[in-house]
A and B are shown apart, each in its own frame.
Chain A
């Protein structure tokens, strides 16, 4: 590892070493708000350094790429980390989180996500993924006052550990079939006339199981609703946006490296996408709990993303990245609103507690409605262009049936997204006041809200930027 390698990894080093420093100094100087704010500053520093400092190498240690693509996602996840920490400021105080530890863990998660998105070899993929999975085990059960947090942590731990086993075994089999971890070379084991082909395909099957667990595709989604419900709302936001998004960001180059060897995999992927879209929709319809509804609807969104990924080509990749960003902003916003309503005795989750709340807290409830409508894909908001791009790419690459199922799922999704909005605004009954909220939370929500609106009206600039950073085929 040379100086130029370290220079190229500067944003990740800022996050990881900053977190280590906070953890060490925090042991002697326990405090809360100063540490969380330091974490916010560090993550924005990482984002800025990823944007400004130009790397002199294109790959570090044969594991992590330093391409514009990787840099783009590093900036994205660093900003996400910063926003999550800003959002948690009051939440951490109300629930008496240990400030230094919480900040350090969220920063480690940010470093892991940006490493995963930058992975150019299977080793890098494994290390990046495990970095933030291990952190999430702790963060999900971080709220020691709440019993459901412990249960959610247990479920994520068991599922995550099994998924790790599958991931590692898949990687080991792909290595055994090809003799390389580095991405384009690792696909040699899948050559049509290769002797090692069955081994490589088995490895890929294992890898798909692990990916299915991590991004919660049906039938590997069983942990999702429980973990979403039990984890602290800001952590759920991070899990729903960053952890899944980083996985998809790593999958795009992985599938691009597969090239034309995806024929067998396509049937499996099509089945996973179809099951996720149908199963997620059916499970989301009867939900009466906002966090669980968002969990099942995230399964549907992962189905759309998989569909875009299968479509492949620059169009499909651009649609997936755009969708990821739009979905991430709206989801972070929705969990941000839940966070801002949270009190010491818990978060409002049941639709019952939201009844008539729109008249008590009009600004936050309007923002929540906007995020939900964007997730549903209602035209003036950003979600519409995201869905349009995915289905357009799917139709262009002849996935007609899947695109049709996706469009139907999107139509049905309006019903389960509208239900909480109706509860918020239509039924006038004096709801009890919840937390008044504070400035940092409003700042984060304003950022998310304006982005949802702006990207819905002017998606052009972001699409242009994404086209420029796409990995070369």
Chain B
């Protein structure tokens, strides 16, 4: 392996934190979902790096599972975005604050 595992882990940790920051800072639902996508892609990178480090195929198979799961999640969340937009006319999460107590 030419690139050491450490570098892969640092890069994916940075990506993961960027994604998490996006989720926490943005108030637009679509931007939040993009943040989640970045987090999941960081995971994919870690898995590929670890898979190359251990010379095993398992990690790469997991990445395929992860991609399938992510696409399912995205399709559900986008359906949700359309539904919420139709309901309130906005995708700003601050508009949804009726439940309290």
Q: A interface vs B, CB < 8 Å?
A: 123, 126-127, 130, 134, 137-138, 141, 144, 147-148, 150-155, 157-158, 161-162, 164-165, 168-169, 171-173, 175-176, 179-181, 199, 225-226, 229-230, 287-289, 292
Contact = CB atoms under 8 A, between A and B. Distances in A.
B46 A173 contact: yes
B1 interface: no
Given A147-B98, A154-B80, A289-B101, A180 B58 contact: yes
Q: Which secondary structure dominates chain B's binding surface?
A: helix
A157 B99 contact: no
A332 to B, nearest CB: 23
Nearest to A179: B54
A389 to B, nearest CB: 33
A377 to B, nearest CB: 25
Nearest to B80: A157
A165 B76 contact: no
Q: Which 9 A-B pairs give the minimum distances between C-beta atoms?
A: A165-B39, A176-B50, A179-B54, A172-B46, A226-B99, A168-B43, A161-B36, A151-B96, A172-B47
Contacts of B65: 123, 126-127
Instruction: Pick the most buried of A153, A165, A225: most chain B CB atoms within 10 A of its CB.
Output: A165
A176 B9 contact: yes
B76 A137 contact: yes
A180 B72 CA distance: 26
Contact of B101 (A158, A175, A225): A225
A176 B66 CA distance: 16
Interface in B1-53: 5, 9, 12, 16, 19-20, 23, 29, 32-33, 36, 39-40, 42-43, 46-47, 49-50, 53
A165 B50 contact: no
B93 A158 contact: yes
Nearest to A121: B58
B33 A161 contact: yes
B93 to A, nearest CB: 7
A181 B58 contact: yes
Contacts of A152: 99
Nearest to A137: B76
A180 B57 CA distance: 10
A229 B47 CA distance: 38
Instruction: Pick the most buried of A126, A137, A161: most chain B CB atoms within 10 A of its CB.
Output: A161
Contacts of B53: 176, 179
17 contacts: A123-B65, A126-B66, A130-B72, A148-B98, A151-B97, A162-B36, A162-B39, A164-B36, A165-B19, A165-B40, A165-B43, A172-B59, A175-B59, A176-B46, A179-B53, A180-B58, A226-B99
B99 A169 contact: no
Given A172-B12, A172-B43, 6 more contacts: A126-B69, A127-B69, A144-B83, A162-B23, A179-B54, A180-B58
A130 B77 contact: no
B39 A169 contact: yes
Nearest to A131: B69
A22 B83 CA distance: 24
Instruction: Pick the most buried of A153, A157, A181, A287: most chain B CB atoms within 10 A of its CB.
Output: A157
A407 to B, nearest CB: 28
Interface of B: 5, 9, 12, 16, 19-20, 23, 29, 32-33, 36, 39-40, 42-43, 46-47, 49-50, 53-54, 56, 58-59, 61-62, 65-66, 69, 72-73, 76-77, 80, 83-84, 87, 93, 96-99, 101
A384 to B, nearest CB: 30
B86 to A, nearest CB: 9
Contacts of B59: 172, 175
Contacts of B33: 161
A352 to B, nearest CB: 14
A299 B97 CA distance: 22
Contacts of A138: 76
A175 B62 contact: yes
Contact of A168 (B40, B56, B80, B101): B40
Contacts of B73: 130, 134, 161, 164
B62 A158 contact: no
Instruction: Pick the most buried of A126, A176, A226: most chain B CB atoms within 10 A of its CB.
Output: A176
A287 B101 contact: yes
A86 to B, nearest CB: 26
Nearest to B38: A165
A356 to B, nearest CB: 23
Contacts of A157: 76-77, 80
Given A137-B76, A165-B39, A173-B46, A158 B23 contact: yes
B58 to A, nearest CB: 6
Contacts of A168: 40, 43, 66
B24 to A, nearest CB: 9
Contacts of B23: 158, 162
A127 to B, nearest CB: 6
Contacts of B40: 164-165, 168
Contacts of B84: 150, 154
A137 B77 contact: yes
A176 B5 contact: yes
A288 to B, nearest CB: 8
Contact of A175 (B36, B47, B83, B99): B47
